[in-house]
Every structure is written in structure tokens, then in C-alpha cells.
Amino acid sequence: MYRVITISREYGSGGAAIAGGLASKLGWRLLDRAVISELARAAHVDPALARAYDERLDSWVHRVSRRALWRGAFEQIASVTARDFFDAETMAALSTEVITQAADQGECVIVGRGAQCLLQGRSDTFHIFVYAPVKLKLDRLRSRLTGVGNLEERAQSMDNMRADYIRAHFGCDWKNPHLYDLMINSGLGDGRAIEAILCAVQPRALNA
């Protein structure tokens, strides 16, 4: 019986919208932007700061600086703020905790953040990868982004960042088909993609 669905997505593929529609159809909780809000609240930082570190890796300069900060004199600690300690590594650790708790509760659709790796092997979880033709991705991005010069470069950069995040934290290839139960082209249209996913999961989905 499936109680959890994870959705990984190429940047601009519309995977987040498909996840939202799927959660609505099933009557399940959606964990996407909600994860950022929950983590920001738990860490007592501004949501914008949490968003800046979401699905990203710290630079080597930051990692060195962070170690140096921890080795600093005790009297310096009093002047350190939450912002000084909150980084991509912290965000990833907190994301893991939130995703695990949500999966244990069930009835949720989880977008990105390595959930397909973190929850591998669970018989109650169905993993999906959403991709799209380049033209469709660029059209989607053009409709929602302004002031961005090279959209194709932006899309490739974001996909590389997500792949690096998965490789660094889970040792997995983001596009490895063996991580997923279903890989779907959103060029079908969001509605048809959602229906196809429902057909795949419904025989074992909760309340099916």
C-alpha cells in the first residue's frame, strides 16, 4: 500500500505543479515549499535564507570558514548568530529529518531534496522522475522568469546543482532510472501526467 510519493524533477519541467495536482487529487499533504517554511521555523531563520540554501551545496570556502568558526575562541561564540551557522549542510540535515518524519506519517507527496534516495527500499513509497523536452522547459521558464538572460543555461545550471546535491549527500546519480518506479515526460500535459501517475499508484495507494 503506497502512502508516500516522491517526485524528482528537471528544472522547468513542471514537476512541482504536477506534484501539487497529484497531492490535491489524492487528498494528501504536499511537501515542497512547505518544507522550507517548516525548516526556517525550526531553525529560527528567515524563510528567504532557508530558500537560498535549499538543494544546494556549500562552497569549499564556506566549509573551511565554518570549521574555523567552530575552532574559534569560546568568547567569540556569543557574537555568532543563527545566520552564521545556518548553511546548506544544516539545511540538508534538517530536510532529511522533516522528510523522514513526513514519510512515517504517510499520505504525502514529497518534492525533491533527495527523498527518492532517503526513502529507497520502503515498500510504501513510490518514486517518480519528471522530465521534459528542452523547448517546453524554456517556454515554462520564460512565462515565470523575468530578467534572466540565458534560460537554457539557467536550466542546465539548476539541474547540475540538483545532481551535485544528490551525489554529495547520497552518493547517487540523480538520473539513474533504478532510483525511480516511473519516469514521465511532462510534455504529455500536466493533467495527463497526473492521470498516468494515478494509474500507476492507485492499485496500491491509500484509499484507492
Q: Are 130 and 193 in contact (CB under 8 A)?
A: yes
Closest CA to 157 of 2, 10, 14: 10
Closest CA to 181 of 162, 203, 154, 163: 203
CB 196 within 8 A of CB 140: no
Q: What is the pLDDT of residues 1-47, one digit of tens each?
A: 899 999 999 999 999 999 999 999 999 999 887 677 767 776 666 76
What pLDDT, in 10s, does the model give residues 121-152? Answer: 899 999 999 999 999 999 999 888 777 778 88
**Measured distance CA(37)–CA(56) in Å, rounded:** 17
Which cell goes with 21? 495536482
Write out the three cell numbers for 125.
Answer: 513509497
pTM of the model: 0.78
